[in-house]
Chain A
Amino acid sequence: MAGKWLPAAELTGSGRPVLQPSEVECSFLSSVDLNCEDNTNFPLFKSGLLILTTHRLLWLPDTTTAAATNSAAAAAAAIPLAAVTHIFTPKKSIKNMFSSPKVRFQVSVTPEGRVAERGSKSMVITLILRGKSDPDAFLGKFSEAWRGRAWESSGSEASSTSNSRQFGSTDGGSSGGVAVRMPVVGVAGILRKEQEMWESTDKSLQEAFQDLNALMSKAKEMVMLAEKMRLKLLSGSNNQTSATNDEEMGSKEEMQDWLLSVGIASPVTKESAGALYHQQLSRQLADFVKIPLEKAGGMISLVDIYCFFNRARGTELISPDDLLQACSLWEKFDVPVMLRKFDSGVRVIQNKSHSDEEVFARIKSLVLEPEALRTGISASDAAMTLGIAPAMAKEHLLAAESKGLLCRDVSPDGFRFYINLFQEINPDDVYFVKGHGIYAAWVSAASASASR
């Protein structure tokens, strides 16, 4: 129903919005109603999470209270900031003091009434902020993001980048400049071009790092320059391996290391998310751990994730306590990962699919082998067959024992585990062996060894 009026917003598995390239979240507000008075058919979006990004206003239904995630994902909506034509400044009056603060803005719509960029008609949308939030601060961020017009630069960037790259200079390559320049002819021309290029790079570097504001305005250019340098240096390493000294190798290695750590473009911060910080952090973390978890084989220690996650966040560090809190919130959401604590005090993150049931099934097939029926298995046997550390295997075996799957035998050989036969033995007739089943298999395995 919402899709008719507002563009839909995509969500990740853990209920976080899927952001566009270079889109960054600026502010989070909880319990926000989204309403439109001009259009009577416009559905009321009631009490949801509002996220302001540099590109869009996202409205997500509140998933913590109730509702299946399927319908929630369908209802998430987005208003591109590009479609916003005017933001009204709220009138201060006594009447407004007693009602929830409202933020009103005008958007352009198509003749059918759908919110879109460059629509011919317009309508007014009202945000009603019911949560405990600062409407003025939000309004400030809203108009800042709107005036920043970040969506424009990311859209047109592709074409301008390719142009300036072809000219090999970072000064934007204005067409007038090329005409005035000396024609590039012969070796001297190439050399001169080369020189000009370096001079311009030097100059732009100097300019960009004068102060923070200069760097901010030149940020895009500098990112491109950094990318160019990285590519050249990395490609250079393949061609001329002989002429590399130690220091150079070091710097290259450093760069390759760092490649791994580019990650979360829009980290959830205390400043942007406010009271929703831990909840949003938890969702972002759930999305993030998928890849490292896969690489580590379904289980990874919490300390490792702490490092990966913070590296991906850049300067927006989170403390170990925040991480722990984010992990413990997973129980409340529908996410495919879980936090697990071992008796030894080690905390790990594991896939839910990597769960105990699956491991028990493998252990069971292991102890049912004829050799194992006779002599049992030890933690190290299980470790080698399951491809996990012995301490882990022991943990699994003990868990399987407590479920009644295994029985232990303590001997000079150490702990050995056997399949639990007691379930199959009839207490009234202990000598009765059924024609099939585990007991029968055990009897035949044991008698085979006795006769040997």
Chain B
Amino acid sequence: MRRRPGIGGLQTAAAARDQYRLLGENVAKLRTDLMKEQLVTFRSQLEEFARKHKNDIRKNPAFRSQFHEMCAKVGVDPLASNKGFWAELLGIGDFYYELGVQIVDICLVTRPHNGGLIKLEELCKLLGQRRKSAREAVSEDDCLRAISKLKVLGSGFEVISVGKSKLIRSVPTELNKDHNEILELAQSQGFVTVEEVQRRLSWSSGRATDALEILLDEGLAMIDDGHRDGRRRYWFPCVSSASSYVGADTL
């Protein structure tokens, strides 16, 4: 482009620059769109292959590692077995093991938000998103069955009922840091209520109730239902020194 003098020249140059920029943006946008499209194809094809040719892929170790690498890089879950007749009937085959791994995976990923306690419905929903390629939906019953297969690995992973809903707890009591937070919270007045724990730590009611019940079972907490406001208080005699809560009681 030849440079021309004067304001007119500057304006043309600016206009040209704008045009180039616009074009560049368009190309970049087109590129990402195309890329996304290809990625979708890539993914769906991989998913299909993972399901259809599972046994063939497993037979060839060198190809298997390449296939895994592909899956990992574009974000495809290679675990996509269908339930099948035998799995449904006898609970054998890989289906429930795969489901088990995916369930634990979801529990691990959501742990920072929920402290290792997740509602069965929510788990099913997330599982459905993971397995969108699989033809059949995963029912809550399938989840429970898959979880029961994990029993061998110790009692840390279990289904508990809080009220009407079922919750999955993935952190064993021995490794649960939630309890430490409650103890810290209780330090100021010697007791906490479920509502207080929910509010102060912004936990769900299930998480708070569960943690307090465990502390009760462990013999660290004592309950007091006799207070005027009718809310159950969980006292922690161990965290506050004797004098401080005797003083609080006489008030």
Residue B177 is within 8 A (CB to CB) of chain A in the complex: yes
List residues 14-57 of chain B with CB under 8 A from any CB of chain A: 20, 23, 27, 31-32, 34-36, 38-39, 41-42, 45, 49-50, 53-54, 56-57
Other A-B pairs beyond A212-B56, A389-B175, A414-B219, 4, CB < 8 Å: A233-B35, A255-B73, A323-B153, A348-B156
- B60 vs chain A, min Cβ distance (A): 7
Alpha-carbon distance A345/B173, docked complex (angstroms): 11
A109-117, A222-230, A422-430: which lies at the B interface?
Answer: A222-230
With A254-B75, A383-B179, A391-B218 as known contacts, state yes or no: A344 contacts B49, CB within 8 Å. Answer: no
Q: Which one of B27, B32, B68, B105 contacts A194 once the chains associate, using CB atoms below 8 Å?
A: B27
| Given A191-B27, A266-B61; A414-B238 close (CB under 8 Å) | yes
Is A314 among interface residues, defined by CB-CB distance under 8 A?
Answer: yes
| Distance in angstroms between the alpha carbons of A414 and B171 in the assembled complex | 25
Query: What mask results when residues 218 to 237 of chain B are scored 1 for a CB within 8 Å of chain A, else 0?
Result: 11100000000000000011
Chain A residues, CB < 8 A from B20 = 187
Q: Does the CB pair A389–B173 fall under 8 Å?
A: yes
B172 adjacent to A301 (CB under 8 Å): yes
Does B108 sit within 8 A of A, measured CB to CB? yes
**Residues from 195 to 211 in A contacting B, C-beta threshold 8 Å:** 198, 201-202, 205, 209
Q: Which residue of chain B lies nearest to A230 when distances are taken between CB atoms in the complex?
A: B73
A346, A389, A390, A392: which contacts B155 (Cβ < 8 A)? A346
CB distance from A444 to the nearest CB of B (A): 20
In the assembled complex, 10 residue pairs joining A and B whose CB atoms fall closer than 8 Å, in A order, are: A24-B62, A202-B38, A216-B60, A219-B66, A229-B73, A233-B36, A257-B109, A306-B101, A341-B154, A390-B183
Whole-angstrom distance between the alpha carbons of A346 and B214 in the complex? 15
Q: Does B134 contact A (CB under 8 A)?
A: no
Chain A residues 148-171 with CB under 8 Å of chain B are: 148, 150
Q: Is the CB of B104 within 8 A of A317?
A: no
Shortest beta-carbon distance from A414 to chain B in Å: 5
* A232 nearest CB neighbor, chain B only: B35
Asked if B61 and A54 sit within 8 Å, CB to CB, the answer is: yes
Q: Is B237 a contact of A412 with CB atoms below 8 Å?
A: yes
* Residue B202 lies at the interface, judged by CB distance under 8 Å to chain A: no
Are the C-beta atoms of B73 and A227 separated by less than 8 Å? yes
Given the known interface contacts A150-B62, A225-B42, A375-B241, the answer about A390 and B218 at a Cβ–Cβ threshold of 8 Å is yes
Question: Inside 8 A of B67's CB, which chain A residues have their CB?
Answer: 215, 219, 314-315
Separation of A38 and B138 alpha carbons in the complex (Å) = 63
Question: CB-CB < 8 A to A187: which residues of B?
Answer: 20, 23
- Shortest C-beta distance, B212 to chain A (Å), equals 12
Alpha-carbon distance between A306 and B71 when the two chains are bound, in angstroms: 20
Known pairs A148-B62, A220-B66, A315-B64; A248 contacts B36 (CB<8 A): yes
In the complex, whether B78 has a CB less than 8 A from a CB of chain A is yes
- Docked CA distance A120–B180 (Å): 70
Q: Is B70 an interface residue (CB 8 A)?
A: yes
Q: With the chains together, A201 CA to B35 CA distance in Å?
A: 10
The reply to whether B220 and A307 contact each other, CB–CB distance below 8 Å, is: no
Question: Taking the complex as formed, is A136 at the interface, i.e. its CB lies under 8 A from any CB of chain B?
Answer: no
A316 & B64 in contact (Cβ 8 Å cutoff): yes
A54 touches B62 (CB 8 A): yes
Chain B residue at minimum C-beta to C-beta distance from A412 = B237
Q: CA–CA, A334 to B39, complex, Å?
A: 46
- Determine the distance from Cα of A342 to Cα of B172 in the docked complex, in whole angstroms: 10
Q: Using Cβ atoms and an 8 Å threshold, which residues of chain A touch B149?
A: 319-320
Most buried by A among B32, B104, B184: B104
A106: Cβ under 8 A from any B Cβ: no
Could you list which residues of chain B lie within 8 angstroms of chain A, going by C-beta atoms?
20, 23, 27, 31-32, 34-36, 38-39, 41-42, 45, 49-50, 53-54, 56-75, 78-79, 94, 97-98, 100-101, 104-105, 108-109, 149-157, 170-177, 179-180, 183-184, 214-215, 218-220, 236-239, 241-242
B152 touching A379, Cβ below 8 Å: no
Q: A265-B65, A272-B61 are in contact. Are A303 and B72 (CB under 8 A)?
A: no
A311 lies within 8 A of chain B by Cβ: yes
B152 & A321 in contact (Cβ 8 Å cutoff): yes
Contacts of A148 in B (CB 8 A): 62
Known: A205-B42, A346-B154. A381 touches B58 (CB 8 A): no
A73 interface hit (Cβ, 8 Å): no
Do residues A344 and B42 form an inter-chain contact, with CB atoms below 8 A? no
Q: Given B64, B157, B214, which contacts A314 in the complex, CB threshold below 8 Å? A: B64
Give CA–CA (A219, B63) in the complex, Å: 7
How far is B242's CA from A412's CA once the two chains are assembled, in angstroms? 10
CB-based contact A301/B42 at 8 Å: no
Provide the bound-state CA to CA distance between A223 and B70, in Å: 5
Provided the pairs A255-B75, A301-B156 are in contact, do residues A306 and B175 lie with their beta carbons within 8 angstroms?
A: no
Closest to B32 in A: A236
Asked if residues B38 and A311 are in contact (CB atoms below 8 Å), the reply is no
In the complex, the answer to whether B38 meets A201 with C-beta atoms within 8 Å is yes
User: Does A184 lie at the interface of the complex (its beta carbon under 8 Å from any beta carbon of B)?
Assistant: no
Any B CB within 8 A of the CB of A25: yes
- Alpha-carbon distance A299/B170, docked complex (angstroms): 15
* Alpha-carbon distance between A24 and B58 when the two chains are bound, in angstroms: 13
Taking CB atoms, residues of chain B closer than 8 Å to A272 are 61
Contact between A304 and B104, CB atoms less than 8 A apart = yes
Expressed in whole angstroms, the Cα–Cα distance for A313 and B184 within the complex equals: 40
